Structure 1
Amino acid sequence: SAMRESENGKEIVEEVKEDIGLKIQIIDGNLEAELINLALWSYIDEKSYLHIDVGGGSTELNIYSNKVKIASKSFKIGSVRALEDNIPLSVWKSMGIFIEGNIDKKESITCIGTGGNISKIFELSNPRKNKTFIQINKIKEIQEYLESFSYEERINKLNLNPDRADVIIPASKIYLAAMTAAKSKKMIVPDVGLKDGLMQVLYKKNKNKKNRAPH
């Protein structure tokens, strides 16, 4: 998100390539969402789902019904932006309107949460073995628990990484806001994300190259 929006994103790409020979491809929000979707299909059935992926600068939302994605949108609501109190109220409202306008209010909807912060919140809930979901009330409970510690205590007592200890609380507020808008009580937390979708794409790409290569 930061690379997408920065004025000198392309300059950074060129500088990195020149300095260490690494080629970076900046992808848009839609492709990011598609890559994450690839990793989620095994968790989606005929029911209705709201997928929430919270990053540092943006939140990607995807709504599924009967194994079909019926709506998708990226919002400039991320954990770092929220930490810096840098999200206009209008953007929060637009996220709620998008969710409410694309779900069937008569049908219960289950959320799917991806991203490092919700994975850590799920871990802090001490789930039973093989459990893959967390209730909204438990997320609120973990949020309050985290808020009872200072930033330093979250690092030293809860063993959170420094770059997780500061953003995990604002990230939890984003997940809760989306769940509340959808009137959802439960969130599945699969241990997958952007990297898993990207690996699938790279695997298929290189497998096809191998199959086309002369023997």
Structure 2
Amino acid sequence: MAVYAAIDIGTNTLRLIVAEAVSADHYTVLHEEQTIGRLGEGLLPSRLLQDTPMRRCLKVLKRFGETACRFKARHVAAVATSAVREASNREEFVAAALRESGLNIRVIDGNEEARLTLLGVRRGLRVGSRRVLVLDIGGGSTEFVLARGETIEAMVSTGLGVVKLTEAHLKSDPPTPDELEAIEQVVADRAGRLRTELPDLNGATLIATAGTPTTLAAMDLGLTVYSPARVNGHRLSMTRTRQLFQALVTRPLAERRECPSVEPGRADVMVAGTALLLTVMGVLAYDEFTASDSGLREGVLLDLIRQQAAQD
């Protein structure tokens, strides 16, 4: 069977998956990894990707490209999201990636990001025909997808992102109540408009994907080594999420970094990410969420496999 690879170039995290296609809708994972490269570091207010994070991420992409070659991947799809699409020097980064790693990066808009994320989540959680609201909390943007099965009822892409919120509002260590309130207000102001942008959410299960919800799930499970199988599908109540939030905001960054459930490089953005999640849950009247380990990366892979199957 053919081998495929997919790369998700996010504002905070770069993720690779290599898999062997079994059919147009199924694959077997051969290799997966992720690195926090913080590509969007310092993006605002200039809207320029900065030299240091660009070089850092280009090295990761070179390694990802070499890994895909080692597994003899027949096709490789690489997509870039918020940081790259918002950057005025995105062409420079895309050209450097092609030159140094051989990767042809596709910069996708928020709606395409949402569509592909839904594809990955549905495959990972086997949601079938259930009605779901998928919340993808990224470093530079947050997407909402309301769907029943593969039918998308509504998609909303917002400029809310954990790296942006952290850089803009969290200056103290640990954060002050005023800083936390500022984040919650920004999120609440934007989330409040979702009530008119999304149809009736009655009966729709809230599924949250990306680093913030999966890290919260790992913390709740007490994992010292991350386990996708245990995190995927884990449910957290708002009450428990608030407890974890309090544990994060009362600790200085150095102590948050020592938490075995928190991936290195993610400790500084977990406060903003959890505040965002809790605020959205409150505005949209959800008392729990389900964590999905699968997301955009897996959706890009499945979409690639389907495209090639249609051409063969």
TM-score where L is the length of structure 1: 0.84
Is 1:43 the counterpart of 2:124? The answer is no
Aligned twin of 2:53 = none
Per the alignment, residue 76 of structure 1 pairs with 159
Over the aligned positions, Cα root-mean-square deviation in angstroms equals 2.6
Equivalent position of 2:299 in the other structure: 197
Letter in 2 for 1:111: L
Indicate the structure with greater strand content: 2
Supply the distance in 2 between the matched residues of 1:81 and 1:192 (Cα, whole angstroms).
23
Where do 5+ consecutive residues of structure 2 fail to align? 1-81, 170-182, 223-229
SS in 1 for 2:160: coil
CA drift at 1:19:
3.4
Aligned to 1:114: 209
Q: Structure 1, unaligned stretches of length 5 or more?
A: none
Contact persistence 2:163–2:269 (CA under 8 A): yes
| Higher helix proportion (structure 1 or 2) | 1
After TM superposition, the score normalised by the length of structure 2 is 0.59
CA shift for structure 1 position 134: 1.2
Give identity over the alignment, percent.
Answer: 27
Match of 1:58? 141
Give the 3-state SS of the residue equivalent to 1:69 in structure 2. strand
Alignment size in residue pairs: 207
**Could you say which residue in structure 2 is the equivalent of 1:99?**
195
Counterpart position of 1:25? 106
Partner amino acid, structure 1, of 2:100: D
Partners in 2 of 1:143 and 1:197 — Cα distance?
29
For 2:168 and 2:142, how far apart are their aligned partners in 1?
Answer: 15
SS of residue paired to 1:170? helix
- List per-residue Cα deviations over 1:109-156 (Å, max 9, x = no partner): 4311000111010111128x6863111111111111112321111122
Q: Secondary structure at the match of 1:61?
A: strand
SS of residue in 2 equivalent to 1:165: coil
- Structure 2 residue aligned with 1:2, among 49, 63, 83? 83
